[in-house]
Structure 1
Amino acid sequence: MADTASAEPHAPPDQPRSPAPPLQRPPNTGVPGPPHPAGTLIGSVQRAMRLLESVAEHAYGAPAKQLARETGLALPTAYHLLRTLVHEGYLRRDKGLFFLGEAAERLGSSGAAQKRRSTVADTLAQWRDSIGVPVYYARYREGEIEIMCVSDTPGNPAVEEWADFRETAHAHAIGQCLLSQLDEDTRRDHLGRYPAQSITPYTVRDNHALLRRLERMRRMDPVLERQEYALGTVCAAIPITVGTTAATMAISLPAHHADRLLPAARELQNEVGRLLGSLAISISI
C-alpha cells in the first residue's frame, strides 16, 4: 500500500470569485458620531417655513403660483404644503389667495406678549432700584385679582403671600386700589364671592365698612394700607386705568419705615405718569 500520510493534498480547482457583499452600516452603539447638521434637517419643514415667511410678506394675500416662484418650490410641492398649512390653521385661503391663519397669528401674538411682559419687568426693576422698594404690577381681569409682576431684591423683599391675594383684596393696597376702579355692580359681585373679613387686627371688618372706605377714595390718590394684610408691613398702590383695564403699580415697606410710604408712593406715581404713554400697551398684557 502506498504511504499516503506524507502526501500533500490536492489544491481545489479554481472557483469563480463571488461578488463582494454590499457595504453595511455600522451598528448603532449609542455613541454619537461626528455632527452632520445638514443631515438632521427636515426638508419639508424648511419648505413649509419658507412658504409661511413668503405669505407673511403679502398683506393682501398671494396665489400659490407666486408663492412657489418666490420660494423656489415646484408648484405641486407648494400646493401640497399650502393645503397642509391651511388644514392646520397656519394659513387660510380666500378666493385663491393665501393669508396667515389664526394659528400663525397666535404664535406672533404670543411673542409680542412676551416682549410686553419683558418691558414691564424691566421698568419695574428700574423703579425698584431708583426708589429702593419692592414694586408690584397687578390688574383686575375676569373677576379676579392678578399679580402680573413683582420686582424685589434680597435686601428689599416682597411681601410673602401668606393668604391668597385673590381672596383678600379687601386687606391689601393692591386689591383696594383695583376695587376702587370698578363699577359698583362689579365691586359688589367681587365682594359677594370674597367677602371682607379680618385677617389682622388692622383689617377692615366687613363689606359695608370697605365699601364706605372705597367711596371716600379720591380717584388718582395713592391707596395706603398699614398692616392690614401682613403685620409689620405697610403698602401703597397707584391706580392706573388704560381703556377698560383696571391696573395698579404698588410698593411695600417694613412698618418701621412707614414715614417713607407716602413719599415713595408719590415718586412711583410720578414715574408711572412719565412713562404711562409708552407703557399703555404693555400694561394691558
Structure 2
Amino acid sequence: MLVTERRERILAAARERGAASVAELAAALQVSEMTVRRDIDQLADEGVVERVRGGMRLRAGHRPSTAPAVSAERRAIAEAAATMIEPGMAIGISGGATGLALARAVRDVADLTVVTNSLSVADLFSPPERADAPYTQTVVLTGGVRTPAESLVGPVAVRALEHLHCDLVFLDAHGLDVHAGITTMNLLEAETSRAFMATAREVIVLADHTRWGVVGLTTIADLSDIDRLITDDGLDDEARQQLAAHVGSLQVAARGTEASAGTD
C-alpha cells in the first residue's frame, strides 16, 4: 500500500468516526503501530488531525481541502520563509499551496496576527482547544469570488487591506518572468495581491522553480517590487542570475533539508 493511500484511509477513519486508536488502525491497515504513529504525526503537522493519547481525532472545524499535496519544493520554500517570522509579528499570507505550507510551518509561533484571504489558512489558525496552545489572531479578508485555491478575492478584500499594516506579506506566485513580472490568471486576484503588497514592510514571494518563465493572464507587479524571492534549488543557474539582478534578494531553499543559500 502506498503511503498516500494509507494516510487517506487513516483520514477517512477519522472523518467517519471522529477518532481512532493506533492499535485499531494498525490492525485495519496491516502495518506496524510505529508506521501508523508516523502517519498520524504527518497528518497532525498538516493540521487535519490532532494527536491524542493512544491515537488521533479529527481536528475541530476541519474542512477537506482541495489544495494539492505539499511537494518537496514547496516544503523547502515554506521552511525557509518560516525562519523570517518572529513572535508578535503581523503577517499576510495569500492563497495558494505554498502559502498554506507556510501557515502549517508557523502554527506554533506565539502571538502572531495573520491576515489572509485563504479559507484553508484561516482554518489552520482557528482558536486552540488547549489552554497552553499558541493563540493567533486571524484577520480573514472577504470578497465576492472564490478562486480554485480556496481564496477570496475582490473589491471588499481590497478595501479592507487599505487600512491594515503587516510586517511581512507572503505571496504565492503563479508565474515569474523578466518582462511580465509576477503574474496570475485571475484579474481579481491580481488586484487583491497588489493591495496585500501595499500593506507590507517587506514583500516576500514564494515560487518554486517551475514558476520561472510562466506568464499568466495579468501582471501583479514587476520583479523589482519583490523585496525577497524564495525559490528552490531546482532553479537553474541562468535563471538564478536573471532573478538576482531584478529582485531585492534571492533565497534558494534546498529540497530535502532545512538549509538554504542566499544570493543578494
Q: What's the TM-score once normalised by structure 1's chain length?
A: 0.28
More strand by share: 2
| Rg larger in structure | 1
Q: What's the TM-score once normalised by structure 2's chain length?
A: 0.29
